[in-house]
Amino acid sequence: MALSLKFFELHPCSPTSLDEFDADVVDFVADQVGVAADALDRYGLDSRTARYHREQIRTSFGFGVCSRSDRRVLLRWLADEVCQLERRDDRLTEALLATCREFRIEPPVNVDRLARAARSMFDRRFTTTTSPGYDSAPR
């Protein structure tokens, strides 16, 4: 839990894989809390205990879970506001993560996919408004 707490403090999201923890940090924290570093290998991020820890960590930082409606709002915001100015997926992802931090929402696990979907939505809208009838053309 100590590693997840530190991870959330640095990245305002929960890790999706144990590989996201830097080995030096794992060693340091393990030494601080008095456990073997390889104990992390037995910590399943999908376990009931890990889910409970994530909830405690989110609560302590004042963050909420990204709901389905939050995802829809974020998708529309990215497509309507950010994609006009930025086309690169990594920049869209950065904007999404910053907005989640601002509104104290833990980012969804699939931020990269959400950024691509927003860009795709923007592209479709742009194409249909600049080329009327394009959307109904046979594919």
Q: For residues 77 and 94, state if they share a domain.
A: yes
Asked if the model's pLDDT at residue 6 lies above 70, the reply is yes
Per-residue pLDDT, 42: 87
The pTM for the full model equals 0.75
Q: For residues 90 and 45, state if they share a domain.
A: no
Tell me if 93 sits within 8 A of 54, measured CB to CB: no
Query: Three-class SS of residue 67?
Result: coil
Q: Tell me how many helices (H) and strands (E) the chain has.
A: 6, 0
Q: For residues 43 and 84, state if they share a domain.
A: no
Residue ending a domain, among 11, 43, 61, is 61
Cα(73)–Cα(62) distance, integer angstroms = 20
| Structural domain for 74, as ranges | 68-132
Cα(15)–Cα(45) distance, integer angstroms = 8
Residue 87, phi then psi, degrees to nearest 5: -110, -20
- Tokens 């950010």 appear where? 82
Per-residue pLDDT, 54: 92
Mean pLDDT of 26-55: 90
How many domains, in total, are found in the chain? 2
Q: For residues 52 and 8, state if they share a domain.
A: yes
For the chain, what percent of residues have pLDDT higher than 70?
A: 94
